[in-house]
Amino acid sequence: MTHPKTDMQEDYISRINKVFQFIDQNPDGDLSLEAVSQVACFSPFHFHRIFKTMTGETLNEYVTRHRLEKLLHGFFIENIPVTEIALQNGFSSNSAFTRAFKNSMA
């Protein structure tokens, strides 16, 4: 017999993994708390608490870091211009990327 708490934890992990996959497949899509919480089938409030507990980051922090990592990979590994990669990965402009990058280094 499985333990109810273990079942709930496995369910939460599965839902958060769906979110990671969604974010990875939609870097320039709507990654707002409302949209992503629907992917996980949680209310935005509940999702925010669970996501922060499981990842140590807020959704916004995670999305920004993920976008920056993809951008840097494209720039250094694939030699794609920064502006092109920034736009492909959800930054509205080169200056939005620059601000996010500076904030991540603080």
Q: How far apart are CA 13 and CA 45, in angstroms?
A: 17
Q: What is the pLDDT of residue 81?
A: 82
Q: What is the pLDDT of residue 45?
A: 96
Q: What is Dmax (Cα atoms) for the chain?
A: 55
Q: What is the pTM of this model?
A: 0.75
3-state secondary structure of 3: coil
10-residue mean pLDDT profile of the chain (106 residues): values are 76 96 91 96 96 95 88 77 80 82 76
Q: What is the pLDDT of residue 60?
A: 93
